[in-house]
Amino acid sequence: MSQMLNTEDFQALTVTESEDRLHARLNRPEVRNAIDAAMIGELHAVCEHLETAPKILILSGTEAAGKGIFASGADIGQLLQRRRDDALRGINSAAFDRIAKLPMPVIAAVDGYALGGGAELAWAADFRLATPRVKVGQPETGLGIIPAAGALWRLKELAGESVAKELLFAGRILSAEEALQHGLVSAIHEPEDLLTAADELADRIAAQDPLAVQVSKRVFAMPREAHPHVDNLAQAILFESQAKVERMQAFLDRKKTKEKND
């Protein structure tokens, strides 16, 4: 059994872990899961663990007073105190970029508000599942700043330039249905079914060859000019893997058995 992450000192995240996945729940409901320095530090700890022990990451929020909360944004009290040098350190952007580059896929199970930095955390995931009560947007320009933790470039890639500009320049907030329509989430589930759906997606990923998934994620992120050369190199690595031999032989054996029984 692989070594599990030590979360004894965690305060902002609640973590559960198994052999093939880690579930990190944002757990500051008293401030609507505002992303503060402590949460960022704990997200870095999660990333450090998953970089050395690759597993699927599921990110979710909490529920308070009968309402779902993914993350209402960055902690405004802390943002107010930050200055130029803090911005240049990329406090949130470094953590979110690290999450996006984790070896195995990341699933964001989004319920309720995902605003500002909370939305940017969701954009960093490979998959976003939503509930009907999701509200997502980037209100930063209304506070005199920009969304500097990924939205200014990820949103254009995810939803297209027109929708991205409405969220970024005009403060538009999208409903779950609108987010689905624009490809910002891949499915909508009732709140009580959200984490089950996230685990079912994780099950489908876990059924694949882990090395093939990791290589696919890396190659997918490569710039257009790197293809097809990087694809060929990646395939050359996988063609030599034992898992490729075993999985293909198992496929042929099943096919042969089926043909014999038909």
DSSP secondary structure, 90-137, as one string: THHHHHHHHHHT-SS-EEEEE-SEEETHHHHHHHTSSEEEE-TT-EEE
For residue 120, indicate whether it is catalytic: yes
> Looking at 17, 42, 120, 166, which residue is catalytic?
120
Which tens digits make up the pLDDT trace of 231-250?
Answer: 999 999 999 999 999 999 99
Q: What is the pLDDT of residue 5?
A: 94
Q: What is the pLDDT of residue 178?
A: 98
> Does domain 13-206 bear CATH number 3.90.226.10?
yes
Residue 236 neighbours by CB distance under 10 Å = 9
For residue 19, indicate whether it is catalytic: no
> Looking at 140, 157, 240, 246, which residue is catalytic?
140
> In 3D, which of 136, 140, 134, 135 has the Cα closest to residue 152?
140
Q: In the chain, where does the domain assigned CATH 3.90.226.10 lie?
A: 13-206
Residue 208: DSSP 8-state? S
Which tens digits make up the pLDDT trace of 132-145?
Answer: 999 999 999 999 99
Within the chain, which residues score under 70 in pLDDT?
1-2
